[in-house]
Structure 1
């Protein structure tokens, strides 16, 4: 079985790694007639094309910057950041295999059998977040009125901004995509006409405590999808450095092993291979990798200049409340 891990110790660039992995995976998939691996190949080609032909990001980020300027004008009292990134190769590979494992596990648990190949392929056609932008905001404590809760006020402004965002992007050449009822918002703060576009992870909690608003749009000029996430600072801290962060390896491994125990080994090759690829990625010691322009001391101290692990930052903006330093305690 071909895995990404096999290519991370050669000193190659990320593009070279992608090219070799794609070539060898395609060759093996054709020999074994593995339709899911062929879809995996197409997934890798999409990432490669983004990295090779990313001039459009300049124009795209300039359009996103227009919303930053709008917020700075309309909400000068808020502190907020805008960031953008291309999903890193390791995270993309984790997600692709994780979708396979999760879908087959859920299907088997519910039906006692395995999904058909067309059903599985349909599930794997939903990647829309290779490019993602994030808006993180907070109401500074110095601007709160007596008795106001900082997080509740921040959430109120978050939904207010979410109500404006779809129309703003539509006017600038983006097409806002339906969320198809996934995580449909029940918040009275979100307007009914925009609710179909958002996946609302704030209303209702999951066991990791992850909270965010997600919306997917299609960039008609570059012919690519992108995702925009909206969070308060508290939500972002929890997602990045708190209980919901992506680096919770032990918990991930426990969840994956529970799924492995539930699926008889050898009955579903797609589950077996995706599970193995995913577990190998979770067990990577980043300090041992040899990838050009990437180095790590350990799994938390990383210089990811190539975008291998955390992703290439394409839009760093920060707006601090312009009146914040004028308030005298």
Structure 2
């Protein structure tokens, strides 16, 4: 079985690693008539295209910047950041194989049989977050008459921004994608006309503490999808350096082991291969890798300048709150 791990010790660039991995995987998939691996190759091609031919990101980020300027004008008292990234190679590979494992497991538990290959292939066409942007807001306490109202005020502003965002970007060539009822919001702060487009992870807080609003757009100019996340600074801290970050990793490991125990080994090659690829990625010792523009002391202290692990940043904008001594009405 061909895995990404086998290509991460050669000293090559990320693009060269992708080219070799995809080429060998494609040859093997054709020889063994493995339809899922053919879809896997198409997925790797999408990542390569983003890394090699990303001129469209300049135009896309400029349109996002227009919303940044709108917010700076509308909310001069808020502090906020706009970030954008292309999903990293390791995270993308983990997610692709994770989808296979999850879908086959769920199907098997419901039907005691394995899903038709066509259904599985269709499930693997649902990636919408290879490009993602994040808006993180914070309300300085100096603007509040009662500092205890900070969280409530930040959430109110977050939903207010969420109400405006879809129409703003649609006027600039994006099409907002319905969620199909997934994590539908019931917040009274979200307008009915935008409710079908948001996955609301703020309501019904998860066990890990993860909270965020997610929305997906299709860029009609670039012909690609992008995801946008809206968070307060506290939500972002919990997701990036807090409980949601660490517990999510542990939860993925526990779920993966439970799924392996439930599916008899050797009965479904697609499950077996995806599970093995995912486990090997989880077991990577990053300090031992030899990839151009990547260096690590251990699994925590990482300097990744190529999008291998953390993702390539494509949009850093930061707005610092003005009128620091004024209170808002």
The answer to whether TM tops 0.5 is: yes
Give the equivalent residue in structure 2 for 1:63.
Answer: 63
Q: Cα offset for 1:32?
A: 1.3
Give the equivalent residue in structure 1 for 2:313.
Answer: 313
The number of equivalent residue pairs is 327
Give the equivalent residue in structure 1 for 2:129.
Answer: 129
1:87 and 1:129 in contact (8 A); partners too: yes
Residues 1-329 of structure 1 aligned to structure 2 (within 5 Å): 1-146=1-146, 148-245=148-245, 249-324=249-324
Question: Secondary structure, in 3 states, of the residue corresponding to 1:222?
Answer: coil
- Alignment partners' CA distance in 2, 1:290 and 1:249: 24
- Taking a change above 3 Å as real, the CA distance of residues 151 and 326 of structure 1, as seen in their structure-2 partners, is closer
- Taking a change above 3 Å as real, the CA distance of residues 166 and 198 of structure 1, as seen in their structure-2 partners, is same
Q: Cα offset for 1:146?
A: 2.3
- Taking a change above 3 Å as real, the CA distance of residues 163 and 219 of structure 1, as seen in their structure-2 partners, is same
* TM-score, with length taken from structure 1: 0.96
Q: C-alpha deviations, 1:244-288, integer Å up to 9, x for none?
A: 117854443222111111111111111111110000000101110
- Alignment partners' CA distance in 1, 2:57 and 2:200: 26
- Alignment partners' CA distance in 2, 1:93 and 1:246: 19
* TM-score, with length taken from structure 2: 0.96
Q: Cα offset for 1:20?
A: 0.5
- Taking a change above 3 Å as real, the CA distance of residues 262 and 60 of structure 1, as seen in their structure-2 partners, is same
Question: Secondary structure, in 3 states, of the residue corresponding to 1:137?
Answer: strand
- Alignment partners' CA distance in 2, 1:196 and 1:16: 41
Question: Secondary structure, in 3 states, of the residue corresponding to 1:236?
Answer: helix
- Taking a change above 3 Å as real, the CA distance of residues 147 and 21 of structure 1, as seen in their structure-2 partners, is closer
CA RMSD, 1 decimal: 1.5
Q: Which moved more, 1:9-18 or 1:210-219?
A: 210-219
Could you list the runs of 5+ residues in structure 2 that have no partner in the other structure?
A: none
Could you list the runs of 5+ residues in structure 1 that have no partner in the other structure?
A: none
Q: Cα offset for 1:295?
A: 0.7
2:208 and 2:247 in contact (8 A); partners too: no
- Alignment partners' CA distance in 2, 1:16 and 1:325: 53
- Alignment partners' CA distance in 1, 2:64 and 2:24: 38
- Alignment partners' CA distance in 1, 2:118 and 2:163: 36
- Taking a change above 3 Å as real, the CA distance of residues 96 and 248 of structure 1, as seen in their structure-2 partners, is same
